Structure formats: C-alpha cells, structure tokens
Structure 1
Amino acid sequence: MATAPAIRVEAASAHPEWQYLELMRRIWEAGDERVDRTGVGTRSVFGATLRFDLADGLVPLLTTKRVYWKTATREFLWFLTGDTNIRSLCTQGVEIWTDWPLDRYRKATGSDISRADFSRRIVEDAAFAAQWGDLGPVYGKQWVDWATYEPVGDGVFRPGPGINQVAQVVESLRTNPGSRRHIVEGWNVAELEAMALPPCHKTYQFHVADGKLNGLLYQRSCDVALGLPFNLWSAALFVRMLAQQCDLEPGELVWMGGDVHLYLNHAALVEEQLSRAPSGEPRLAIVRRPASMFDYRIEDFEVSGYHPAASISAPIAV
C-alpha cells in the first residue's frame, strides 16, 4: 500500500482544514481496501466526524485545492427548487449530475456521444431532456416534495400533497427552536430504486442554543476526494441560509460520515493534496435577505479571503 506524504500534525489545531487532511491520510494509509458498486475499488473507514465553526462568516471551504463553490451553490439552489432534471443545471454550465443520465443514454442507445454533446442536446432540446435528463426523485424532490398518499377506499390510494421538509424546518426553527425534530431527510426507502443515485448526504438536523443555529449532516457514503469538499460547503451554506431566515446567528457545523472512502484511482490527487498545507480564512457573506429559503440567487453569495492552491482533477466513479 502506498504511503501518503507526511503532513504537519502539529498544525492541526491552527487551521480547521487539517481535520480533513488527517481523515484523508488515515483512509489512504489504513483504510480497508474493498470492491465497491462502481467496480473502481476504494479504501474505506467506517465512522468519522469533523467540526467547523461558522461564526463571523467562516466556512469550511478547502484551501489545499480549489473548490468551485459557485458550482456547489448552484447545485444546492437547484435542490431547493425540487427539480430532478439536469437541464437547468446544464444551462448554467453545471455538470455535476450529467454522468448518470449520460451513462444511461449510452447503454440504452449504444451511442458513444461525448459528454459535451450530450449536455448540449439536453440544453437545446426540451423533448430530449425530458426523455434522458431526469434523475428520478433525488435530493430536491425529497426535500421539498416528499410523496404522500391518501386512501380512497378498498385499499386504493391516490397521490396526496407533497411535504416540503425545508419549509417545515424554517417554521419549526422560528416557532419551536428547542425542538429535536428540525430534520430534513433524503432517504425515502420507497423511492430509492427510482433514483439515479440514492442520497449520500442523507440526513440534516439542526439545533438552536444561545441564539445560534448549529447543523449536523450525516452522510451514509462519502467520496472524500471529490464529494466531501462540496458537501461541507453546501451543508455550511444550508446552515447560513436557515440562520438568516430565522434570525439566528450561525454556530457550528458537525459532519458525520458512515462509509468514508477514497477511490483507488485517486492516488495522484490524494498524494498531491496531502503535500499541501491549508492557509487563510475563507468567509461567506449573504448580501441580501430574500423573502424565503426558496428565493435566493447565486448573486446573493460572496466569498472573501479565499486564495486556494490549484485545483486537482480526478475521474468520477459512476
């Protein structure tokens, strides 16, 4: 097993990003090597926790490689619309979800269409997008339109009104901040098979103490190299937006992972990133308070103090 470059553990208390780097190193050096769903293979540990202070605008935006926070923000805002088709993402140049419909299209048609051409057709052809661009009832559908069913007699049910979990959490934070039920859940067992990918960042819980809003994200499966940098940013963004809407101060983000892994074909990324040291204190400002959680725009978010090292590319496992 390859040994990752040593990192300066003594600096761990000086910068919160060392938590992430230490987790990456632990997985790479001591993780259990396993065959996974994608066939690529991973090294994995089970159970991990990271904690980040969100006071004074601080955000867990990694500096040891560039994280495209605007892309992650566009994805998060897309979740809040409840949309499950990649067309609006592709229109914005966001290709996070394109590989799954592309893989389905190639298998169904035998075409070797390029990713760029597939995305272009999704944007330009509404009928093509309707047929090939839908992901099934993934994150946003569960967050803002969880399916319900109403009995109509003789054991027959019809679709009922969807449940907007995000709107419910906003209301409960405002009216009953001490509740232990401030939860947004994505793991809808009845609909998992219809999803392009079952939710990885599956459960969000929020907690109010001393006028501060804390958030916890439980992630059942976590790609530490490619996914976690986006997940940390988006979870912190969720806390910040809720705090603004509920007249609370941001507190702490707690991240918890179940199967926490690195893909075996990410060796170059891991070794390069572990050779770098974090620096700076990125901060997020929300420059406008919209009428609701569902009215934010990308222009409402500004990041300062972010001077990351260069981005590091690696293949995504579909």
Structure 2
Amino acid sequence: MARHPETQYLDLLERVLHTGDKRIDRTGVGTFSSLGAMMRFDLSDGDFPVFTTKRVYWKLAVKEMIWFLTGDTNIRPLLAEGVRIWSDWPLATYRRQTGEQISQQAFESRILNDESFARKWGDLGPVYGKQWRAWVAADGRTYDQVATLINDLRTNPSSRRLIFHAWNVGELSSMALAPCHMVYQFHVSGIGSQPRLNLMVFQRSCDLFLGLPFNICQQAALVHMIAQQVGMPAGELVWSGGDVHIYSNHVEQVTEQMAREPRPFPKLTLLRRAADINDFKIGDFQVSGYDPHAPIAGDVAV
C-alpha cells in the first residue's frame, strides 16, 4: 500500500524536531533548524495537497496567492478578503515608529476604513507580487515575470528558463519580510504526447508548522491556475526547502500533530475558465472531500 503523501511532511517534522540544530533566530524566539528537504505531490488526479493532520484554512492561502499575482503589496485588499496573515509586520512598524500601542484589530480597522492611512502604514514594500509582476531592472525597464512565463509555456514549453523569482537583492532591505518561497521553476513533461505542467519551488526559509501547510496548498493552486491558462493538465508539485525549522514555541503543537494519522487529500476543481491570470477569484476554486483533524493554533514569530 502506498504511503500517504502527507507522511513526507510528518517525517520532516520528526527529523527537524529530533535532529535539528537548536539556535536563536532573527525573531528571537529560537528554532530547531536543519538544511535541506524535498517533498513531491502528484496533482494529476485532482488531489489537492491540503494537509489533514490539522485543519488548514486553504481559502486564506489561495486568496494570498491570488493577491501575489495581482502585484499588490498593500495589506488592505487582503484584509477586505478576511486575510490577516500579513498584518503583524506593518503593525510592528507602526507601533515602533509612532509609539502607539494600538491593538491589531484597531490597526486593521483603520487600514480598511482610511485609505490614506492604508497607503502610509499598510504597504509591505516590494514583496512577492511586486517582483513577480513588476521587477524593475537597472536600466529602469519593468519586467512582468509571470506574463513572460505564461507566454514561454505556450511558445517554448521545453525551455529550461521557465522561472520567476522574488530575490531582488537591491530591494531586500525595503521589504517587510525577505521572500521565503523565492524561486518557482516550471517544467512541462510529455511534450509531443500528453503534456503536463509541473512546478518546483525552492523555499530558502520555512516555518514548518505554520508556514509550510499554507505554502504547499497555495503552490498547488498556482499550478492549476497556470495550467489552465496554457491549456495543460496539472502534473506534479515538487517542494524543496533550505533552512527548514520549527520554532521553539511550536514544539508541543508539532508533537500533537505528528501523533495524528493523515486522511485522504481533498479534490480541487476550477469552476470557471479565467480570462487571464489576473482574473481568478476565490469562488473559482471548489474543494471537495476535505475532512481534516482539528486545528492546532500557534503564534507567528515576527
């Protein structure tokens, strides 16, 4: 009997927890850290790798991916969609620069209701979407990496340059958070017969408990979105990690999660053909058969 693909994740948790290097990290929280990991997920039969050993709020993850693809860098449209996962960084900046110990709820309310406040305090700098859709070169020209990728998939699917990435060295210091999932390389298998679209992601830094379950399902969604745009079925998602770590304040939660048995992955269906990559809405994604274990909460390290 084949092993459940989620077992790869549970094995990685166990390895890092038991053999990872204990260290103090950028956030001051501390981690168990290891270098190098890989997981593979077959998407070809509609399986959607939303982990089941704890509930993953897949709609939030997909909404974030849709937001990345718009090229926006302000949290206001995310908050309008009920996505609060980026609020910690601008909130910390606001508190530090103004001295006002505003609550997160009050800060988010001001972002939503005051456009000028949102422009000043809600922007994250040139994070993912900016680099993906409007990379500014040294000569001042702007490059839309995602549009170029889609065009190349249609016209030159055997290329080894089917890549977009966000590690813009000259702008790292202006970002609220340097890109973690930084390189996306696509690959078309079965050219000339039954082509399928595959994706390999390199993630230089990965919070295994909170971040990775989000990342895997949104990256799988991205494969389906781009596959639809180029007229191919989805193939495989290959995830590779650099510094993979468990925060020291997540050890109890991870231990609980590792004791749970994975359940079958749900299925993903795209209900509508989007006009282009900018046209996707969360309502286009139908996920059926998701029956996870209960959620397990954990604090974000900022």
User: Secondary structure of 1:197's match?
Assistant: coil
Distance between the aligned counterparts of 1:54 and 1:224, measured in 2?
Answer: 21
Residues 1:228 and 2:228 aligned together = no
CA RMSD of aligned residues (A): 1.0
SS of 1:112 mapped into structure 2: coil
How many angstroms does 1:280 deviate by? Answer: 1.6
Match of 2:229 in 1: 245
What's 1:95 paired with? 84
Give the corresponding residue for 1:182. 162
Deviation at 1:281, TM superposition (A): 2.6
Mapping of 1:1-318 within 5 angstroms? 13-150=2-139, 159-160=140-141, 162-210=142-190, 211-318=195-302
| 1:77 to partner: Cα distance | 0.6
In 1, the alpha carbon distance for the partners of 2:265 and 2:241 equals 24
Distance (whole Å) between structure 2 residues aligned to residue 209 and residue 274 of structure 1: 34
Q: Offset of 1:149 from its aligned partner?
A: 4.2
- What secondary structure does 2:277 align onto? coil
Distance 2:134 2:221 in 1: 21
Q: State the alpha-carbon separation in 2 of the partners of residues 52 and 149 from structure 1.
A: 38
Q: Distance in 1 between matches of 2:203 and 2:113?
A: 35
Q: Report the more deviating stretch, 240-249 or 42-51.
A: 240-249
Which secondary structure state, in structure 1, belongs to the residue aligned with residue 186 of structure 2? strand
Equivalent-residue separation in structure 2 for 1:246 and 1:88 (angstroms): 27
Q: What is the identity, as a one-letter code, of the residue corresponding to 2:301?
A: A
CA distance in 2, matches of 1:189, 1:208: 29
Aligned residues: 298
* Moved segments of 4+, more than 3 Å: none
Cα distance per residue 1:170-201 (max 9 Å; x no partner): 00000000000000111001100000001000
SS in 2 for 1:21: helix
Distance 2:154 2:168 in 1: 26
| Greater Rg over alpha carbons, structure | 1
SS of 1:166 mapped into structure 2: helix
Q: 1:14 Cα deviation (Å)?
A: 2.4
Tell me the CA shift for residue 46 of structure 1: 0.2
Aligned residue identity for 2:61: A
How far did residue 59 of structure 1 move?
1.7
Cα distance in 2, alignment partners of residues 165 and 276 from structure 1:
40
The answer as to whether partners of 2:229 and 2:277 remain within 8 angstroms in 1 is yes
Q: Distance in 1 between matches of 2:164 and 2:134?
A: 12
Deviations 1:270-304 (A, max 9, x none): 01101111012311100111111111111100101
**Partner secondary structure for residue 201 of structure 2:** strand
- Percentage of pairs with the same residue: 55
Residues in 1 aligned to 2:247 and 2:265: alpha-carbon distance in whole angstroms: 29
Post-superposition Cα deviations, 1:131-176, rounded to whole Å, max 9, x if no partner, equal: 11000000000000101243xxxxxxxx33x211111110000000
Q: Is the 8 A contact 2:51 2:265 kept in 1?
A: no
Deviation at 1:91, TM superposition (A): 1.3
Moved more, 286-295 or 255-264: 286-295
TM-score, structure 2 normalization:
0.97
- Quick one: which amino acid aligns to residue 194 of structure 1? S
Counterpart amino acid of 2:60?
T
SS at match of 1:187: coil
Residues 61-89 of structure 1: CA distance to partner in whole angstroms, max 9, x if unpaired?
10001111110111111111111110111
Residue aligned with 2:35, SS: strand
Note the residue ranges of structure 1 that are not aligned, 5 or more in a row. Answer: 1-10, 151-158
| SS of match in other structure, 1:299 | helix
Kept in 1, the 8 Å contact 2:198–2:235? The answer is yes
Match of 1:153 in 2: none
* AA of the residue aligned to 2:167: W
TM-score, scaled relative to structure 1: 0.92
Secondary structure of 2:136 counterpart: coil
In structure 2, how many angstroms separate the alpha carbons of the residues matched to 1:199 and 1:171? 24
